Structure 1
Amino acid sequence: MHPATYPLQDKAFFAILEAHPNLDDRDNRGKTHSLPFVLMGVIMALLAGRDGNLSAIHRHMKNQFQALCLALSVEAKRVISRAQLPRLLARVDHTLLAQLIGQHYGLSLPEGFVDWLSGDGKELRGSIAKGQQRGEVCVSIMAQVPAGVVAQTHYNGCKESERPAILNLLTDHDLLKRKTVLDALHFTPELLKAIQEAKGTYLIGLKHNQPLLRRSCFIQTMLQPPGFERLDAPLRKHGRQEERTYACFAIDTMSKAGRWQLVGMATLVRGIRVRRTLTGVQTSRTTSYFVSNQIVKTALEANDLYDAIRGHWQIETMHYCRNVVLAEDDLQSKLSSLQRTISNLRTLAMSLLQLLRPKNMAAQLDTFADYVHDLITFLKRKLVL
């Protein structure tokens, strides 16, 4: 097994940004502030826990202006103004910025990588305009082991859909041939067929958005015994006890509609989660179904699917950290380009924090906020500055 790794660098990210003059579309004659310098200031502010409020980010940039100038050995005339900051960030080529961050700080998957990937989208709630129900959405593909972002993109929820965003992300980054877990939203013939033709493996949730297929699969679980079953040890957390059982069923010979004939459906996985009070009283019972093109012949192969379902929560954990620890949803701005730019920088901040493996991510942000020289030393060591 070849594990995913972070790429090795021989050049600071600040210098890499300076080498891309097309990162913003300003006329050179009107440039007062260096865009790479401003982006470094925003990254420092994010790692110091100032996310969620553009004014707080700007105050940190202002307070640490001299420290950043000294760290980068530059002679900036003055800090960017609060009014100018969003205007400049909105003019960043966020697509190019995302590519550069992915190349230098995203997880690198070797040819022999056999672990699972997870894909999902997260709404940037601060981008939702008044009277609208959707805003900008950040879509990520991440490795479950080790946990880290492999590829990322954005789309506008008012005009576009997550389905093509995920398909394009998998296609553009040559990930169709990998093993991928996705939510039921992506249970479409187009995506399943693309993964099957690329000789990849999918494990996709099956819910009521495919009622006929779900009913057929449910009947299949009643007509045949499971090939393999597993009962996980009960977990105690949040004042309750949780039990999970898994079972898999062969569905390769099951009758299916014509549009599913070429997608290679082979296995149905059923997961049952039962929650009880600590005294043993059942409070809830949830049954979930997943479909995969992986043929299961051994208990080891079945356990691989079961673990992938549990591992899919890694991406929800990442979304939780982005929202609760970094306060992603609190950043209010209707400028889509600004939201995407800071979202990309937030991904970089998350990748850097994961390299530290802190026991408490919020506490690490507080440490960086209190000891700016420790933050600068860390950014230099990781070749950001």
Structure 2
Amino acid sequence: MLEAVDADRLDAAVGSWLDARLHAAGQAAGHGRRRRRAVAVDGKAVRGTRHASADGQPVHLLAALDQLCGVVLGQVRVDGKTNEITRFAPLLEPVDLAGCVITADALHTQREHAEFLVTGKRAHYILVVKKNQPGLYAQVKNLPWRHIPVASRQHNRGHGRQEHRTLKAAAVAVGLAFPHAAQAICLTRQVRPLDGGRWRTVTVYAITRVDARQATPAQLAAWIRGHWQIEALRHLRDVSYGEDASQIRTGSGPQAMAALRNLAIGILKTAGHASIAAACRHHARDATRTLETLGLRPA
């Protein structure tokens, strides 16, 4: 059944239901929409499916995730004959993005994407700039960053390393060859293992439609870092649900199962569970706990 189901419609239903659940939880808590929502967009290959295709390529899925809650709002399959770029708009079209900030990697730093988000969806964006857009990359990199003061600093220790992050932002409303760009961003990360060793420095450039009046530099830094919540989702699906080890490889099966994993994770997160692994064990001990989590009463 899962191999024959319309996986796109299943994904749409799951995303819509989880979005409504998040909205209802926010209203119940009195939060409403006062806090600007950030949505991360990124892709994932389901590695266990690579043996099912003639060319050895695994099923590839593109997802949109609410950064704050870690819940998937939409997911689409990327056809082997195309790439993520053509699936960006179809992924986000059904989602209410008015006032939201969309974060994405350099692959999606496309002028068409910016126009779609700003004009079509009334949203903002933060897009990484790399050498796949050489003209834009040169423009952003050659801004006078040395003379621009650091606007945000973060220091973190964890996962076996210490990290220093600084962010600079420059208004570029005129002259930058990208639609609706209001600011350019220079993010510098210095990382070193906790047991010592040399510091490793990485500099990342980005552009955003958000101007200085709409968000502080610290908020920009938080949204950029929050993008990696989607990596945490991949880890959950692989480790807690064994996605890459799954033997479901044909038809709509891989996408449908990924949608169900997103659904399970979303339910547990909106119910307040910090650890998905612990939540799975908790519900496995007593089947009626699942009904309670869903707000249902056993007959």
Task: Answer yes or no: same fold by TM over 0.5.
Answer: yes
Contact 1:240 1:278 in 2 (8 A): yes
SS at match of 2:147: coil
Cα displacement (A) at 1:273? 0.9
Structure 1 residues 339 and 226: alpha-carbon distance in aligned structure 2, compared to 1, 3 A threshold: same
Please provide the CA RMSD for this pair. 2.7
Report matched runs for 1:133-144 at 5 Å. 133-144=56-67
1:286 to 170, 185, 202: 202
Structure 1 residues 278 and 114: alpha-carbon distance in aligned structure 2, compared to 1, 3 A threshold: closer
Cα displacement (A) at 1:270? 1.1
Contact 1:227 1:250 in 2 (8 A): no
1:193 to 98, 115, 129: 115
1:250 to 171, 174, 183: 171
SS at match of 1:204: strand
Percent same amino acid at aligned positions? 24
SS at match of 2:199: strand
1:296 aligned residue: 212
Structure 1 residues 230 and 92: alpha-carbon distance in aligned structure 2, compared to 1, 3 A threshold: same
Q: Distance in 2 between matches of 1:119 and 1:383?
A: 36
Contact 1:227 1:249 in 2 (8 A): no
Write out per-residue CA displacement over residues 110-156 of structure 1, whole angstroms, 9 at most, x where no aligned residue. Answer: 77662211111111112223553533222221222233222222233
Write out per-residue CA displacement over residues 276-323 of structure 1, whole angstroms, 9 at most, x where no aligned residue. Answer: 24366433111111111222258x522221111011111111111111
Cα displacement (A) at 1:239? 2.9
SS at match of 1:315: helix
Q: Distance in 2 between matches of 1:239 and 1:122?
A: 25
Letter in 1 for 2:45: E
2:240 aligned residue: 325
Structure 1 residues 147 and 281: alpha-carbon distance in aligned structure 2, compared to 1, 3 A threshold: same
Bigger shift: 358-367 or 113-122?
Answer: 358-367
Q: Distance in 1 between matches of 2:15 and 2:243?
A: 19
Q: Distance in 1 between matches of 2:298 and 2:104?
A: 32
2:135 aligned residue: 212
Q: Distance in 2 between matches of 1:297 and 1:351?
A: 33
Letter in 2 for 1:244: R
Letter in 2 for 1:373: A
Letter in 1 for 2:175: M
Structure 1 residues 96 and 207: alpha-carbon distance in aligned structure 2, compared to 1, 3 A threshold: same
Contact 2:163 2:192 in 1 (8 A): yes
SS at match of 1:274: strand
Number of aligned residues: 288
1:170 aligned residue: 92
Task: Verify: 1:272 aligned to 2:195, yes or no.
Answer: no
SS at match of 1:220: coil
Contact 2:167 2:221 in 1 (8 A): yes
Q: Distance in 1 between matches of 2:176 and 2:40?
A: 29
Structure 1 residues 305 and 167: alpha-carbon distance in aligned structure 2, compared to 1, 3 A threshold: same
Bigger shift: 273-282 or 320-329?
Answer: 273-282
1:39 aligned residue: none
Bigger shift: 247-256 or 180-189?
Answer: 247-256
Letter in 2 for 1:116: A
Q: Distance in 1 between matches of 2:15 and 2:187?
A: 34
2:28 aligned residue: none
Letter in 2 for 1:134: Q
Letter in 2 for 1:192: A
Letter in 1 for 2:185: V
2:159 to 238, 248, 258: 238
Q: Distance in 1 between matches of 2:195 and 2:33?
A: 49
Return 5+ residue gaps in structure 1 as ranges. 1-87
2:287 aligned residue: 373
TM-score normalised by structure 1 residue count? 0.67
Q: Distance in 1 between matches of 2:195 and 2:110?
A: 43
Structure 1 residues 354 and 264: alpha-carbon distance in aligned structure 2, compared to 1, 3 A threshold: same
Q: Distance in 2 between matches of 1:364 and 1:351?
A: 12
1:81 aligned residue: none
Structure having the larger proportion of residues in strand: 2
Q: Distance in 2 between matches of 1:193 and 1:376?
A: 43
Write out per-residue CA displacement over residues 199-222 of structure 1, whole angstroms, 9 at most, x where no aligned residue. Answer: 421100111211221122111134
Report matched runs for 1:143-162 at 5 Å. 143-156=66-79, 158-162=80-84
1:7 aligned residue: none
Letter in 1 for 2:144: T
